[in-house]
Amino acid sequence: MSTMLGFGVYTKALSILPASVATIISTSEILFAAILAAIFLGETLGGWQNLGAALIVMGVVLVSLRTKESR
């Protein structure tokens, strides 16, 4: 039940937000899941995972900069 409620609220919030903000949030979700797993579960990231995290951050930054320019 808690998963359904959380997913429902998340989906509703994404439908309310502008597309550019929703894209940034949904793209960052994977990165934050990995960070939280490292903090709370002691998971470690390998080289490919660190590269992927860096690419996600770069993509989010590029989308954020592009969004600010179009305003």
Distance from C-alpha of 17 to C-alpha of 51, rounded to nearest angstrom: 29
pTM: 0.63
d(C-alpha 28, C-alpha 56), whole Å: 7
Please write the tens of the pLDDT for every residue from 25-38: 777 888 888 889 98
Q: How confident is the model at residue 68 (pLDDT cuts 50, 70, 90)?
A: low
> pLDDT for 14-65, tens place per residue?
788 887 777 777 778 888 888 899 899 999 989 998 898 899 888 888 877 8
